[in-house]
Amino acid sequence: MDNTAESQPRISKIWAKNFRSIENFEMELDPLTVLVGPNASGKSNVVDVLRFMSDTAQNGLESALTTRRVDQVARRSSPRIKATDIEISVNIEGDSYSLEYEFVVRVPVGSGHKVIREKTRLASGEIRSKILEIEIRNGRLIKPQFNRPDDMPTEVYDGFKNPFDSASREIPSIAFPFNSIIPGLAFFRQARSLQDTVQSIKTLNESDEFLADMRFYHIFLNVLREPKKLRVNIL
């Protein structure tokens, strides 16, 4: 029997701000974490942070928002507020890596939304010594910075520097897991080798699949308490 197989990744920390009834919440998660509290204390909303991340990874941000009704997802601290920034962050721990991912989406009163920022930090290796980072703001690649080679035309450099080039339009969806030319360019400038680049992109995609594959189960105690109906077959 092969005992060298890697264990499944797990979520080690979640953080949310202005999500449903949550004003500002942060929690570290053990392999087994139990939430205990009275009714209407916010337990379901904490779980829904994870479900929201899973729905986003599986079906996209717009679907995750509309499923919950956009106007009810964002916490409104005052009726005079015209828009609310929802901030969500999740840490994923694997055998050989740690992944931190966060995004900020602005939800105005009424309808619509815009992705303001995304940030990913990937630490890999036995001592997590290989650090790779990507940051996108308003659809433009901020980190890593690219220095234009002397022989590269400016218009070509701009295309590499800001692959999304969408600062003038609404950003309706997130880019995670960056499964395109974006991580290839970003990681190639930070990674020590092509192998590190390929492995990093693979880790991002596996983390995205892990979030999308999460399952949530509801136990309805009132239903369990009800007596079972016997079925009698008359021959």
Among 3-12, 58-67, 181-190, the range scoring the smallest mean pLDDT is: 181-190
Among 154-158, 177-181, 226-230, the range scoring the smallest mean pLDDT is: 177-181
Instruction: State the pTM of this model.
Output: 0.79
| Residue pLDDT, tens place only, 71-109 | 778 887 777 788 899 999 999 998 889 999 999 999 888
Across the chain, mean pLDDT equals 81
Is cis: bond before 177, omega within 30 of 0? yes
**Cα atoms in the Cβ-side hemisphere of radius 13 Å centred on 196:** 19
Highest mean pLDDT among 5-19, 83-97, 117-131: 83-97
